[in-house]
């Protein structure tokens, strides 16, 4: 599901004023507008929208989970519902089609939304459905973006992401002069471990030195990328 103009549904708890819009100026140009609803650009807008959505979902009995406040669940003796929220994008699934439809109807009553149908892509993760309704999660396009950003699309291939006996340290080599690209690539690799769990150990190792990356850390990251170049075709799409 995709909520249209989600931030405009948020109710403001604070008094917020703004200049008159350029296309609507009253006879007294010194007057300002007091906002009753949130607008895009306000720092309160995301929080206000999420509070509005959370309050709406309480009516059918959905509860936000403590370990992930963006995940709402409803577990009963007859069915289970799961609703995952990322700003204005929502994934809904469950064990009962009737319960899912009722929840969608509730959202339609309170918000303007688009039903995008079966899930195929969400936050860089591709979802492929098999004939028996099982799903395969891949990040093929996301992987290509990482390699392109690092300019390693056609890098030399390595059979493993890391040498198991490799020792890490804070010293011994020079500090990376411009670490922003390094930090960006390592952060992207950590997200890639969602569908590439074999990368978890090596990525977490280099992630431990994000505060002061050294040259030998950069070489380790390059080897991880070289491994990805040689194994991306092994992931079934």
Of 224, 232, 229, 194, the C-alpha closest to 206 is 224
Given the DSSP bridges, would you call strands 80-86 and 121-122 parallel, antiparallel or unpaired?
Answer: unpaired
CA–CA distance, 142 with 232 (Å, rounded to integer): 11
pLDDT attached to residue 203? 92
Distances (CA, A) of 79 to 74, 93, 99, 135, 166: 8, 11, 8, 21, 49
| Cβ 48 vs Cβ 12: under 8 Å | yes
pLDDT, residue 172, reads 61
Residues 5/112, Cβ–Cβ less than 8 Å: yes
pLDDT means per 10 residues in the chain (237 residues)?
91 88 81 88 90 89 88 92 92 91 92 90 89 86 91 87 74 75 92 92 88 84 91 65
Note the pLDDT of residue 237.
42
Q: Is the pTM here over 0.85, yes or no?
A: no
Q: Do the bridges between strand 121-122 and strand 113-114 make them parallel or antiparallel, or are there none, so unpaired?
A: unpaired
Structural contact between residues 75 and 86, judged by C-beta atoms closer than 8 angstroms:
no
Instruction: Please report the pLDDT score of residue 112 as a whole number.
Output: 92
CB 166 within 8 A of CB 202: no
Residues 6+ apart with CB under 8 A from 104: 1, 92, 115
**What confidence score (pLDDT) does residue 25 get?**
75
Confidence (pLDDT) at 214: 82
Phi and psi at residue 225, to the nearest 5°: -65, -35
- Assess contact for 56 and 106: CB atoms under 8 A: yes
Quick one: pLDDT at residue 170?
65
Can you give the chain as a three-state secondary structure string? CEECCHHHHCECCCCCEEECCCCCCCCCCCCEEECCECCCCCCCHHHHHHHHHHHHHHCCCCEECCCCCCEEEEECCCCEEEEEEECCEEEEEECCHHHHHHHHHHHHHHCCEECCCCCCEECCEEEEECCCCCEEEECHHHHHHHHHHCCCCCCCCCCCCCCCCCCCCCCCCCECCCCHHHHHHHHHHHHHCCCCHHHHHHHHHHHCCCCCCEHHHHHHHHHHHHHHHHHHHHCCC
């Amino acid at each position: 599901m995709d909520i249209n103009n989600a931030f405009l549904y948020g109710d403001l708890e604070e008094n917020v004023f703004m200049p008159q819009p350029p296309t609507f100026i009253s006879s007294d140009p010194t007057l300002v507008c007091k906002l009753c609803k949130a607008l895009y650009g306000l720092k309160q807008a995301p929080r206000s929208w999420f509070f509005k959505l959370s309050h709406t979902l309480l009516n059918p009995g959905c509860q936000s989970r403590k370990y992930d406040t963006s995940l709402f669940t409803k577990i009963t003796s007859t069915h289970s519902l799961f609703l995952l929220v990322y700003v204005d994008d929502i994934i809904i699934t469950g064990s009962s089609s009737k319960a899912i439809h009722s929840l969608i109807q509730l959202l339609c009553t309170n918000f303007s939304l688009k039903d995008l149908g079966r899930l195929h892509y969400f936050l860089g993760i591709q979802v492929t459905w098999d004939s028996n309704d099982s799903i395969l999660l891949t990040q093929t396009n996301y992987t290509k973006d990482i390699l392109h950003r690092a300019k390693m699309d056609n890098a030399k291939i390595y059979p493993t992401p890391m040498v198991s006996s490799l020792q890490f340290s804070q010293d011994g080599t020079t500090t990376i002069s411009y670490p922003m690209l390094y930090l960006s690539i390592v952060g992207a690799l950590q997200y890639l471990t969602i569908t590439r769990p074999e990368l978890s150990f090596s990525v977490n190792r280099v992630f431990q030195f994000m505060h002061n990356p050294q040259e030998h850390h950069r070489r380790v990251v390059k080897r991880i990328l070289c491994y990805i170049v040689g194994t991306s075709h092994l992931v079934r799409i």
